[in-house]
Structure 1
């Protein structure tokens, strides 16, 4: 068995791409998308008519130019997600506009709009995960959405305080970003050890995983944003692993033995405690890496969202 096949024995593998062709190659359980991946996908020949279709759809419901562009952008994401769901047996994650990440009500309205468009495509909401950045406002939005059986994927997660707040909110799944954590420490010259078990991104996920399991939180841990296969294999046994096509291919090309590294029985030194808004903001702010990477991630997704909208505008 190759490493990808072995890995699937211990963790649910998710494809981190909107490319239908690549998803067919790796046969993942689920798939995740984000504005960057959507931006890359709409350049593919397979999605040639998607932009014009989304504009035509939006004009039926919207009056202002801004509303047409915004709805068309979401429609593109939904139609790509619908195509992906024709291939995979599980769920697809579709991200809302990152620029509303600090507005609870807008997070909720964007999420419901996406769910409604999926419904129009004949897709039930139990096959969708709404992706939101792990801000306090978005986590509270997710808490409300989960009550309506709209499951959420809280992304751009870098701090333990974010993970605790998500668990207490009862969100369906979180995506801690291994690679971006590693990048921050590497760029600051704070990594002195080549031992993969000491990789700060890997350590962060293990810490969250152990905490969740000790206190029986139902929130799924889906490690994301990997830089190499060593990070992936060190987290074998994590609930889910979302992996880029490049790294999926490397795993598929290797037959080196894969061992489970994460177990439900591991202990944690962290206590269960309630997370108020002020406590969340202070603890997250105390983590320089997490504060910087969350802000940076929201900005970058916002930039890519604007690029998608500019493509739509050129076609109106």
Structure 2
């Protein structure tokens, strides 16, 4: 049995990919030092020509990675702050994502973008705390948000092997999670949700680190309410069949989503549930408020994020 941390799981998945496939390479700022944990020790092991420290220009190294992918490489780029995704949105959404679609599959872009520490950390303030995964799901790029170390390993392994561009968000709130690993780590299929806890009264869908809050609330309410905790893992393509099957068991839905409320993932999940016709009560969502810019003050930061108290209240309301 091995106690595996979330950053170490990502690091191991990337190391395994580099060892297995000479086409895999890494680009990013300070990846040689491995400051975010994703690339720790990899430049020493695989060399600076495969784990490449880049200049401070996200547009430049993202464009270079797209070009490398087009000619047969499988690049992984690291963005240390989620807001940096806004800088490279044109390259990812309008170029990498569309090359295959516009060439009938003749051109492929097997590019993986990893954002270790996405979302809020205590005191990181407005320009460092966004969680824009809904934006990439809306675009139609494969979008992953693993909640556990095992899923972090498995989804990153699958992302690197995928022939399409993939964005993987590693939530800051999950980085401290450790997991007992008793079996070999294996790839996790993209597009397949996971039921962490079965239930019969209400489905609680939670994204990323909120899975752990959902499980805590489910355990707390277990004497009176049977809560099923469903983790999408992949936000696009979304496992709608898993959601529909869960709602067939429970008939009620609460969604915990650490992104802004309007046009967020929670809204898409509620729409999917409504279309399924399986609901016996109005669905509820727990999100950040609209237009949220998280402040520097830790107490204010936490007050604007989904909390266990808010999840508990939503579940109790759903089963009234």
Smaller-chain TM-score range? 0.3 to 0.5
Whichever structure has more helix as a proportion of its residues is 1
TM-score by length of 1: 0.33
TM-score by length of 2: 0.33
Whichever structure has more strand as a proportion of its residues is 2
Structure with greater contact order relative to length (CA < 8 Å, sep ≥ 6): 1
